[in-house]
Amino acid sequence: MSPAPLEDKVREHWLVAECVAVGDRRPYIAALITLDPVAFARWKQRNGKPATATPGQLRDDPDLAALVQQAVGRANAEVSRAEAIKRIRILDAEFTVGTELIPTQKIRRHYVLDKYADDVSALYA
């Protein structure tokens, strides 16, 4: 299965900037997710979260987790159970062109998986 359609569906959510599905030779599909900085700032203000909090600091916040899980749930509704994202990890980062993204805004998958290897490992711990 190509991860692109699943990632695209998750990215349709207003809070999600990027989604990278992982799972090659793993027991299940998981995803690394980055948040849109402007939308995240608005969400923090509306939900009484500290203005200086980063996505990584709030990744375990139940309100944030539930909102991101909604995006994942919509994507999962369009695939089989075996192809569904089982776990997510919100990254404390923004992807930029030239590092994680190529000029056409596509993800440099191998680069991301290497750079965030610890986060990927945490998804399977």
- Tell me the pLDDT tens digit for each residue of 66-124: 999 999 999 999 999 989 999 999 999 999 999 999 999 899 999 999 999 999 999 99
pLDDT, one tens digit per residue, over 3-43 is 888 999 999 999 999 999 999 899 999 999 999 999 999 99
DSSP string, 22-82: E-TTSSSEEEEEEE-HHHHHHHHHHTT--TT--TTTTTT-HHHHHHHHHHHHHHHTTS-GG
- Report the CATH number that the domain containing residue 49 is assigned in CATH: 3.30.300.30
- Bridge partner residues of 87 (DSSP): 30
Total count of domains within the chain: 1
Range(s) of the domain holding residue 96: 4-123
